[in-house]
Amino acid sequence: MSSDVVVVLPTAVGRVSGIREALSRRGPRSGDRVYTGLRWSGAGLFGLVVAALLVSITGASAQALTHAGFGFLWSATWNPAAGQYGAGILVVGTIITTGVAMLLVVPVGLGTAILLSELAPRWLAAPVSTLIGLLAAVPSIVVGLWGLLVLTPVFANLVEPFLGGLPLLGWFFRGPAYGPSILLASAVLAVMTLPTVVALSRTAMGGVPVVDREAALALGATRWQVVRTAVLPAARSGIRAAVTLAVGRALGESIAVAMVIGNRPAIPDSLTAPGATLGSAIVNQFAEATPGIGTSSIIALGAVLLILTVAVNAGGELLLRGSPAAGHNTAGAQR
């Protein structure tokens, strides 16, 4: 066996120590002080804006919370005409719509990211990535109009009747095909969140060291086996972050969802039935809300949506902190 011996010259050690001492003796320059001041000023300004937002929303929704108590959060009745305000039914609609959207977008987005990052040739991957990036720049109201004018008749005449006739799965799509429905709103949300999942997942896969791929290929793995055993485990934290951001985007979307969901605040008996979410209720009823309890209840819906979004992002942050470090894979490949 042979081992490499690293020889450190005294002159090199002295040169490094001299540089370190010179840097330690040099005081902070004016540019450093300006940058530090700007950084702390920006952080303080951001904190003040967030605090002002929380205080204003809490104060504006206090009347609704006083009127209904904590039952406002889980009440299954939202009927402003009768003076009944409850966010529970809208929270259920929001969670169902977002969950179905994630069931649609995660497999498609992750598969597209794998194709563009690992399997497709560069001449195909570059233009497809550009098109997906352009999709993220489309305003939500344009996507909503597209869903209302183009997808609504397609879902009413083709998609929903076909899904309702499937064995076993047809139970989730039973009932008349209206067109505007929870399923259509979920499909629109999937289209809107697809660029987020694809772009971030592809970036995470691109950060996997090349030596990991080469090690798997040297062991005789196929290209798909390299993706499954080397790339996906190393990029798991980045993929989780992509899904978390997509969930946050889907929860907060309002305009596009309000145009295609049907806006019926009731427990849906199937995915083809109309429904309502927190965002769609805010969009549709804020302008018509009665001053006082009505306006306060709409703002309270915004507070509930804010809490829900913060909870999702906090949960995603905990998942990222609890995942194994990506450096472990790199260290294993080097060994």
CB atoms within 10 A of CB 129: 19
Q: Residues in the chain with pLDDT < 70?
A: 1-31, 322-335
Q: Confirm if 249 and 193 have CB atoms less than 8 A apart.
A: yes
Model pLDDT, residue 177? 82
Assigned domain for 1 exists: no
Assigned domain for 162 exists: yes
Q: What is the CATH number of the domain that holds 218?
A: 1.10.3720.10
Assigned domain for 18 exists: no
Assigned domain for 285 exists: yes
- Tell me how far apart the alpha carbons of residues 236 and 204 are, in angstroms, rounded to a whole number: 8
Assigned domain for 22 exists: no
Model pLDDT, residue 2? 46
Model pLDDT, residue 209? 87
- Tell me how far apart the alpha carbons of residues 130 and 108 are, in angstroms, rounded to a whole number: 17
pLDDT tens, position by position, 41-97:
888 888 899 888 888 888 888 888 887 777 788 877 888 877 788 888 899 999 999
- Tell me how far apart the alpha carbons of residues 139 and 292 are, in angstroms, rounded to a whole number: 32
Assigned domain for 34 exists: no
Report how many domains make up the chain: 1
Model pLDDT, residue 107? 94
**Taking Cα atoms as reference points, which of 292, 205, 208, 188 lies closest to residue 242?**
205
**Taking Cα atoms as reference points, which of 250, 243, 221, 222 lies closest to residue 110?**
243
Whole domain around residue 68: which residue ranges?
Answer: 53-329
Q: How far apart are the first and last CA of the chain?
A: 17
Assigned domain for 137 exists: yes
User: What is the value of pTM for the model shown?
Assistant: 0.80
> b vs e for 200-233, b when ≥16 Cβ sit within 10 Å of the residue's Cβ?
bbbebbeebbeebbebbeeeebeeeebbeebbbe
Assigned domain for 234 exists: yes
Query: CB-based contacts of 221: which residues, under 8 Å, 6+ apart?
Result: 229, 230
